[in-house]
Amino acid sequence: MVAIETTQNQAETASREAEGFETASDGEGDGGAYEDAFTDDQLKLRLLTQANDVKADGNDLFKAGKYEDALLKYEIAMQVVLETPSSAEVRSICHANRAACFSKLGKHEDTIKECTKALELNSSYLKALIRRAEAHEKLEHFEEAIADMKKVLELDPLHDQARKSIRRFEPLAAEKREKMKEEMIGKLKEMGNSILGRFGMSVDNFKAVKDPTTGSYSMSFQR
């Protein structure tokens, strides 16, 4: 497939073609009338082909490390193609490729957003799930990363990378939960001390005592 360079004029031309009309060259000969240029199927195929060509340009730019330029190409490709079921695949790929660009640029929140858009169009898109999990890992969203990798395993039970990633993420998720719990307890202690301090007390005056029979806890006040 020969890649094309899409300009603003070409984008406008594609938009006019999407309406199913073309303009006579000089408005003469046929009285400047408009006529149907393509059938719906021909139009969809034409725009889909153009979108794939622009996407290929984006791929070349990505390989060259020109991630910002590649982002624009993928966006143009999605604007060119009609939002129909037949275009869902190319739009999903463009979103996933934009996610890859954002990942290279270190914009992990944007990576997650683009992967989510890709998955809305193709829920079984493994690359998008993996890429989103990797972005969640960068942001220390370990629970979300585990959830994505588990979806990968549902789609491909033999996916070794997903299995290894889950094993690696689980202790990190547990560590983060423990850290968050300690931070919350610390904040509650600060709040409690600010109130109890007015009465010459602190939360350290209260101890949790476990009942050996029932396993329940009660609070004991100590000076």
- Residue keyed to tokens 């209260």: 206
Buried b (16+ CB within 10 A) or exposed e, 39-69: eeeebbebbbebbbbbbbbbbebbeeeebee
Domains in the chain, start-ordered, CATH in brackets? 1-127 (1.25.40.10), 140-223 (no CATH)
User: What is the enclosing helix (H) or strand (E) of 206?
Assistant: strand 206-210
What is the reported pLDDT for 37?
A: 57
What is the reported pLDDT for 221?
A: 55
Query: For 74-118, what is each residue's pLDDT tens digit?
Result: 999 999 987 777 899 999 999 999 999 999 999 999 999 999 999
Query: For 137-152, what is each residue's pLDDT tens digit?
Result: 999 999 999 999 999 9
Residues paired with residue 35 on neighbouring β-strands, in sequence order: 22
What is the reported pLDDT for 45?
A: 87
Mean pLDDT by 10 residues, the chain (223 residues): 35 38 37 55 87 96 98 96 84 98 98 98 97 97 97 97 96 86 65 61 60 65 60
Measured CA to CA, the distance from residue 115 to residue 110 in angstroms comes to 9
